[in-house]
Structure 1
Amino acid sequence: MTSSAPSVPLVGSLAELRRRVADWRARGERIGFVPTMGALHDGHLSLVEEARRRAERVVVSVFVNPTQFAANEDFGRYPRMLEADLDRLARVAADLCYAPAVEEMYPPGFSTGVTVGGPAEADLEDRFRPTHFAGVAVVVAKLLNQAEPDIAVFGEKDYQQLLVIRRMARDLDLRAEIVGAPTLREADGLAMSSRNVYLSDEERRVAPALHRALVAAAGRISAGEPIGHVMGEAREEVATAGFAIDYLEARHALTLARIARRQDGPARLLAAARLGATRLIDNIAVEEAR
C-alpha cells in the first residue's frame, strides 16, 4: 500500500542534491550512496541497510539509465514505480531519494563517455551486451561525482558490474569506497531481481534451478572435482530444466580470467540464462575446502 505523499525526501535536481549533501558533510557526517534503477525489492533495501551500517546519511538514486540498454532490450517496459519505491525506502530510513529526469543526467549536447576494459572485457555479459558496461560506467561515474559519497554499495548479484565499477573508481580516483553486498534471495534460492516480475507462474517455478545448479557445482569443485567436468554437467542440468544458457562458467573471482584448476585462484561461478523472454543472472563463490 502506498501513501499519497512522499515518505522520503525526494529531489530531482543536481543542485538540490549537492546542497543537501554539503549540509550533512559540514556537520561531519559520512555519506552512503546506493544507486538503483527503481522497482525496489528487499534486495535493494538490504543495500540501503548495508550503507546505513557504514554511514550516518544514506542517499538512494532511482534512475532508469537509457545508455546501458541496447535497442533490443527492455528500457521501455522496465518497471517504474517511484511512489512505491519511496514507501519502501522509508522502511529502511533512507535520508534522501535522488530521482533525476533523463534531461538532468544527459542534457542536450551531452557527448562524453567512459571507456572500460579489464573486467568489462571478460567475455561474459560483455559478449551478449557489448555496449552495456560503457553505459553503466558513465552513469555511475556521474552519480558518484554528483553525490560525492564516502561509500557506495552495489549488489554482488551483478558481479561483473561490481568489478567493473571498482576498477573504474580506482582508475579515475573517485573518492567513494565501493562496497559489495551479498545477493539477497527468495526462500527457494532465486536471486531477487526487478525482472523476476516478468516470469510466468511456470517459469517462476523453474527459475530456482539455476541457483541449485550453481550451488551443486561449487560444492563439487570445492571438494576437488575437475572444473571442466563439473561445469559441463551443470550446463546440461540447467539446459534440461528449460533454460537457454548465455554462459555458465567458472572464473577467477578477482579478475574474471578463465580458470581450469581450483589452484588457479579464488573461484566464482557466474551464469546468465533465459526462461522464455526473461533473462536471469546469478553467481556464487566457490568456498575454500576445509
Structure 2
Amino acid sequence: MVLCTEVKKLQELVKAAKSANQTIGLVPTMGALHEGHTSLINACHKENDLTIVSIFVNPTQFGPKEDYKQYPRSLKKDCQQAENAGADIIFAPEAAALYPDKDMTWVEVTGDIVKVLCGRTRPIHFRGVTTIITKLFHLITPDKAYFGQKDAQQVEVLKKMVKDLFFPTELRIMPIVREKDGLAKSSRNVYLNAKERQAALCLYKSLTHAQDLYTHGERNPQAICEAVRNVISAEPLSNIDYIEAYSLPGLKPIGAKIKNKILVAVAVKFGTTRLIDNVVLGE
C-alpha cells in the first residue's frame, strides 16, 4: 500500500496504472473510517485492478458553525483499516494541495435537488462536495467510484453532476452498513454519549416502521412521514431537523400517493450530534 500526499505523485501513480491498462476504483472518504467505509473499499477491491482511497476532511463542505475543526482525524489507524480492506493507494493531501488559492473555482449543482433535506439548512454543503469530487475525478479518472446509500441526497446530487458533466466514471452506490442494533455507521457516532447513543436507535426503529407500513399497503407519503415523526418524537433526547419523502431518482415531490420508488429521509440531533438516515421504499 502506498501513502500519497502530493497531487503530482498521485498523477504519476495514476498514469502508470493507466499505462498498464489497469482499471481504477476510487473510494472518497473524510477519514475516521468504520465498517461502512471498509465495505466500500472491499467492493472496490473486488471490482477493480487498483483501489485508491482518498482521506481528506474537505473544508469547503462545512458551514462556519459546523464541526470541521473537531471532525475526527485518525490517519494512521485509517491507513491500516484501508489497507486491510484492500486499498492499494491512499491519497491524504493537506487542504492547501487541493485548494491552493484563496479565490476558488466551484463546481455546483443547482435546482431543487440541493434545496431540500440537508441542503435547506446546509446551503454550501453540496457545492463543497461536488467541487472536491470533481477535483478527485479529474486527478484520478476512476472507472468506478464508490459511495454509501446513507448519504442519499449526496448520491442523487453526484449522479446529476456525473450525468450533466459527462464524467466517464460509473457511480457504485452501496447499501447502508449498520450496527447490530440498527444504528447506521457514521463517523459522528463517536460524539454520542451513552444515553444519546441509545436514544439514536429511534431512527432505525422509525424507518423500519415506515417500511412495514409500505409493505402492508400504505401509499400516502404524508401518513408514512407522520408515523416516522411519531416514533422519533417519542424519544425525549431527539431534536428533529427534518423528516421528508421524495421520489427517486432526482428527489422530486411525490404528490398524494406513492406510485414509484421513494426515499424517506431523516435528520435528527441528539445533543449536539446531527445524524442522518434513510430508507428506500418500493425497490
TM over 0.5: yes
Q: Equivalent residues in 2 for 1:1-290 (5 A)?
A: 8-118=1-111, 120-225=113-218, 226-242=220-236, 243-287=238-282
Q: For residue 200 of structure 1, what is the amino acid of its counterpart?
A: N
1:115 is displaced (CA, Å) by: 2.1
1:262 is displaced (CA, Å) by: 4.6
Distance 1:207 1:241, change over 3 A: same
Distance 1:81 1:247, change over 3 A: same
> What does the per-residue CA deviation read over 1:146-193, in whole Å, with 9 as the maximum and x for residues that have no partner?
111100001110000011111111111222111111110000110000
Identify unmatched segments of 5+ residues in structure 2: none
Question: 2: CA distance between counterparts of 1:119 and 1:90?
Answer: 39
Determine if contact 1:227/1:261 at 8 Å carries over to the other structure: yes
Partner of 2:234, secondary structure, is: helix
Distance 1:121 1:255, change over 3 A: same
> What does the per-residue CA deviation read over 1:110-153, in whole Å, with 9 as the maximum and x for residues that have no partner?
42111212463341111110110011111111011111110000
Determine if contact 1:119/1:160 at 8 Å carries over to the other structure: no
1:94 is displaced (CA, Å) by: 0.6
Determine if contact 2:113/2:251 at 8 Å carries over to the other structure: no
Identify unmatched segments of 5+ residues in structure 1: 1-7
Question: 2: CA distance between counterparts of 1:96 and 1:32?
Answer: 10
> What does the per-residue CA deviation read over 1:34-54, in whole Å, with 9 as the maximum and x for residues that have no partner?
000001011100001111222
Q: For residue 9 of structure 1, what is the amino acid of its counterpart?
A: V
> What does the per-residue CA deviation read over 1:228-281, in whole Å, with 9 as the maximum and x for residues that have no partner?
223212202201113111111221021212223454321111111111100000
Determine if contact 1:224/1:262 at 8 Å carries over to the other structure: no
Greater CA drift, 103-112 or 11-20: 103-112
Distance 1:120 1:267, change over 3 A: closer
RMSD of aligned residue pairs (Cα, Å): 1.4
Q: For residue 16 of structure 1, what is the amino acid of its counterpart?
A: K
Q: For residue 200 of structure 2, what is the amino acid of its counterpart?
A: A
Give the percent of matched residue pairs that are identical in Structure 1 and Structure 2: 38
Distance 1:263 1:228, change over 3 A: closer
Determine if contact 2:27/2:52 at 8 Å carries over to the other structure: yes
> What does the per-residue CA deviation read over 1:76-120, in whole Å, with 9 as the maximum and x for residues that have no partner?
000011000011012112100001111100002442111212463
Distance 1:62 1:117, change over 3 A: same
Distance 1:138 1:94, change over 3 A: same
TM-score of the aligned structures, taking structure 2 as reference length: 0.95
